[in-house]
Amino acid sequence: MKSKVLLFGPYSKDGLAWSNFGAPPLGVHRIASYLRKRYHKVDVVDPDLEKITEKSFQNLVTKNKYDFIGISPTHLTLENDLALVHLAKRCSPNSTIVAGGQEATFAYDLIFDNSPVHVVVRGEGEKPMLRMTEAPVSGGLMERFGNIKGLIIKDKGVAIPTGCAQPLDNHEFEEVTLGIDFKDIPYDKYWDRTRGLYEDDLANVALRKKRLHEIYAMRLFETNYCPRGCTFCSSTNFQNTVAGKKGTKVVSLSPEAFIKMVESAYLAYPSLKRALIQSDNFLDNNRNQRIKKITELIKLKKGETLPKEMSFICQSRVDNVTPQMLGYLRESNFVMIGYGVESFSKRMLDELNKRVGPQRAEQTISNTLSAGILPYVNVILTSPKSTPYDLFHTVDKCIDYLDLGAEVGSYVCIIPIPGSALASNPESQSLIEAAQVKIPYTNKSFSKTIRLLPEDPLLQELVHRFYEVINDKKSECMEQYNIKHIPARINTLITFSTLYGLAKKLRIPKYGELADRQISRIQKALVNI
Ligand code: SF4
């Protein structure tokens, strides 16, 4: 018997998901495509894109009588995601409610305690979801799903794991990734919405091309996980936890399969101008030959099955990139590489287990600029053991790189995401700031971890003051510079300027005196962005 399934992506409710360039929940769409190919009927809803209301959500769920309703909550949106689960349960009491993804894999207790979710799928969702949709429709949850690996079932108030599941192998990963039906994903709606924010820039000849490539872009992934084990990230633990052992093999698309994926995205949306490849291992240093092959194929296909002008962005660790790779990438129009630099302080890099020194980051950024590719430098400004020096040293380096044309994305504090080593480290617990958050449409609330503070008292005060004022600073900037949209690169400039303003107020040695000079450099960057 074929099932009716509703899957919905994370729900930020206040537009958080749109503070950068909005994008569909690709992992959810990948599961939907996989199930549809096996003749199940699947609807996908992005609650932010659809601007879902209590009433419209209730109408959708009541009318369709879904067998399964699935959510993919994130840490940042968890209370809103759970709100939709409560609504779904009220309107469709007979549906089986499922949660999956990284947050659900690690925070299943919290999800079971605060919502009527029946089953958590840990790890990749395609195979367990398929088996659930094809399981007997009658009987208790354990009878129906107890023999499917990789689940946690809430049965009579107890969370029961069904055993470890193996991650997708190369063949399966290629099958599910190439199976994504891009035409079923409403990219045009996302693009129209972003375009509406940039009409002024599009009328400006100097900016038009750049903005069109930013708007008509798709995020694609080509690897199953990352094995590098940085302490603030849950990626490594995600697959290993589900498999029940360390050392899960990294699987990725072959060069030919990678090109097929991009071609099928373009075939579905001929206005596509840019592919953003989201994988820290895309440029793995053993992969010179792979990158050579991929970039040769891109050049071969351009003007035929790919648009002539197509641009690419990828991500990388700083220690993965070779000058040779940069040459290949530039020739095939990779215009930007996002680097997970995290910090220019050796002490912080060690604490974050980056296993690379700041000199390597500086060398890679400089090589990237020399190759004619824009580096996008991602930094985290504090960690439990960090000092004001660590923060401002990194900010200063970033301001230098902004002057050289790089872009910078920043987080002031680590978000203690479930599954990351820092979130579960006993030494970090007293530094984790949590807030009681209400689940909309219910009278329930729960304690949610918000940020991991530095233990240095002066830095902690700086961080607290920063969060008190940052929203007002953003509003002031939008008005002063006539900005309609704050993507990460602008957010970073406002962040740096605010931090330096506070350094002056708090008279932080050395950096308080530097504040006026650095703020004026940041303001210049804001005018030119
Ligand atoms: S931060 Fe990047 S390199 Fe580190 S574990 Fe996560 S994905 Fe891998």
Q: What is the pLDDT of residue 18?
A: 53
Q: What CATH number is given to the structural domain containing 389?
A: 3.20.20.70
- Reported residue count of the chain is 529
Q: Does pLDDT of 201 surpass 60?
A: yes
Q: What is the pLDDT of residue 136?
A: 95
The residue segments making up the domain with residue 213 are 170-424
Phi-psi label, residue 244: left if phi above 0, alpha if psi -120 to 50, beta otherwise:
left
CA of 350 to the centre of ligand 1 (A): 14
Q: What CATH number is given to the structural domain containing 144?
A: 3.40.50.280
Report whether residue 419 contacts ligand 1, using a CB cutoff of 6 Å.
Answer: no
Q: Is 472 helix (H, G, I), strand (E, B) or coil?
A: helix
Q: Does pLDDT of 250 surpass 60?
A: yes
Q: What secondary structure does DSSP assign to 282-301, as a single string? A: TT-TT-HHHHHHHHHHHHHH
* Residue among 276, 290, 423 nearest 336 (CA): 276
Q: What is the pLDDT of residue 267?
A: 98
Q: Which atom of ligand 1 is nearest to the CA of 234?
A: 6
Q: What is the pLDDT of residue 525?
A: 86
464 membership: H or E segment, kind and range: helix 457-480
Last residue of a domain, one of 424, 449, 465: 424
The whole-number average pLDDT for the span 118-122 is 98
- Which pairing describes strands 4-8 and 158-161: parallel, antiparallel, or unpaired? unpaired
The residues pairing with 336 across neighbouring beta strands, listed in sequence order, are 313, 374
| Better-scored residue on pLDDT, 365 or 485 | 365
Work out the mean pLDDT of the chain and round it to a whole number. Answer: 95
Q: Does pLDDT of 200 surpass 70?
A: yes
* Residue among 41, 47, 50, 33 nearest 68 (CA): 41
The whole-number average pLDDT for the span 480-506 is 92
Asked if residue 280 is part of any domain, the answer here is yes
Q: What is the pLDDT of residue 14?
A: 72
Asked if residue 342 is part of any domain, the answer here is yes
CA of 226 to the centre of ligand 1 (A): 6
Q: Which tens digits make up the pLDDT trace of 159-172?
A: 999 999 999 999 99
Q: What is the pLDDT of residue 484?
A: 79
Report whether residue 234 contacts ligand 1, using a CB cutoff of 6 Å.
Answer: no
Please tell me whether residues 178 and 286 are part of one structural domain.
Answer: yes
The whole-number average pLDDT for the span 186-192 is 96
Asked if residue 443 is part of any domain, the answer here is no
Band of residue 197 on the pLDDT scale cut at 50, 70, 90: confident
CA of 512 to the centre of ligand 1 (A): 33
Share of the chain above pLDDT 90, in %: 91
Which token pair is 176? 């599910």
Q: Which tens digits make up the pLDDT trace of 333-355?
A: 999 999 999 999 999 999 999 99
Please tell me whether residues 208 and 351 are part of one structural domain.
Answer: yes
CA of 364 to the centre of ligand 1 (A): 17
Last residue of a domain, one of 117, 142, 161: 161
Most ligand 1 atoms within 8 A of CB, residue of 280, 281, 314 to mutate: 280
Q: Does pLDDT of 322 surpass 80?
A: yes
Report whether residue 30 contacts ligand 1, using a CB cutoff of 6 Å.
Answer: no
Please tell me whether residues 342 and 224 are part of one structural domain.
Answer: yes
The whole-number average pLDDT for the span 16-25 is 70
**Residue nearest ligand 1's atom 3 by CA:** 228
Q: What is the pLDDT of residue 13?
A: 83
Euclidean distance between CA atoms 306 and 349, whole angstroms: 39
**Residue nearest ligand 1's atom 4 by CA:** 230
Phi-psi label, residue 491: left if phi above 0, alpha if psi -120 to 50, beta otherwise:
alpha
Q: Does pLDDT of 91 surpass 70?
A: yes
Q: Which tens digits make up the pLDDT trace of 290-316?
A: 999 999 999 999 999 999 999 999 999
Asked if residue 453 is part of any domain, the answer here is no
* Residues 220 and 276: beta-carbon distance below 8 Å: yes
Please tell me whether residues 346 and 292 are part of one structural domain.
Answer: yes
* Residue among 447, 353, 417 nearest 106 (CA): 417
Please tell me whether residues 275 and 140 are part of one structural domain.
Answer: no
Please tell me whether residues 117 and 259 are part of one structural domain.
Answer: no
Report whether residue 351 contacts ligand 1, using a CB cutoff of 6 Å.
Answer: no
Asked if residue 211 is part of any domain, the answer here is yes
Which token pair is 197? 């924010």
Please tell me whether residues 102 and 245 are part of one structural domain.
Answer: no
- Which pairing describes strands 119-121 and 68-71: parallel, antiparallel, or unpaired? unpaired
Q: Does pLDDT of 24 surpass 80?
A: yes
Report whether residue 236 contacts ligand 1, using a CB cutoff of 6 Å.
Answer: yes
Please tell me whether residues 157 and 178 are part of one structural domain.
Answer: no
* Residues 74 and 101: beta-carbon distance below 8 Å: yes
Please tell me whether residues 415 and 296 are part of one structural domain.
Answer: yes
CA of 357 to the centre of ligand 1 (A): 15
Q: What is the pLDDT of residue 493?
A: 96
Last residue of a domain, one of 161, 191, 220: 161
**Residue nearest ligand 1's atom 2 by CA:** 280
Asked if residue 264 is part of any domain, the answer here is yes
Please tell me whether residues 285 and 397 are part of one structural domain.
Answer: yes
Please tell me whether residues 22 and 149 are part of one structural domain.
Answer: yes
The whole-number average pLDDT for the span 470-494 is 90
Q: What is the pLDDT of residue 20?
A: 61
CA of 235 to the centre of ligand 1 (A): 7
Q: What is the pLDDT of residue 15?
A: 61
Which token pair is 137? 């429709």
Please tell me whether residues 318 and 209 are part of one structural domain.
Answer: yes
Report whether residue 390 contacts ligand 1, using a CB cutoff of 6 Å.
Answer: no
Q: Is 339 helix (H, G, I), strand (E, B) or coil?
A: strand
Euclidean distance between CA atoms 5 and 241, whole angstroms: 27
The whole-number average pLDDT for the span 370-386 is 98
CA of 229 to the centre of ligand 1 (A): 6
Q: Which atom of ligand 1 is nearest to the CA of 342?
A: 1
Report whether residue 228 contacts ligand 1, using a CB cutoff of 6 Å.
Answer: yes
Asked if residue 96 is part of any domain, the answer here is yes
Report whether residue 233 contacts ligand 1, using a CB cutoff of 6 Å.
Answer: yes
Q: Which tens digits make up the pLDDT trace of 387-414?
A: 999 999 999 999 999 999 999 999 999 9
Count of domains forming the chain: 2
Asked if residue 198 is part of any domain, the answer here is yes
Q: Which tens digits make up the pLDDT trace of 234-246?
A: 999 999 999 999 9
Q: Which tens digits make up the pLDDT trace of 207-226?
A: 999 999 999 999 999 999 89
Which token pair is 376? 């996008």
**Residue nearest ligand 1's atom 6 by CA:** 233
The whole-number average pLDDT for the span 253-276 is 97
Q: Does pLDDT of 418 surpass 90?
A: yes
* Residues 104 and 123: beta-carbon distance below 8 Å: no
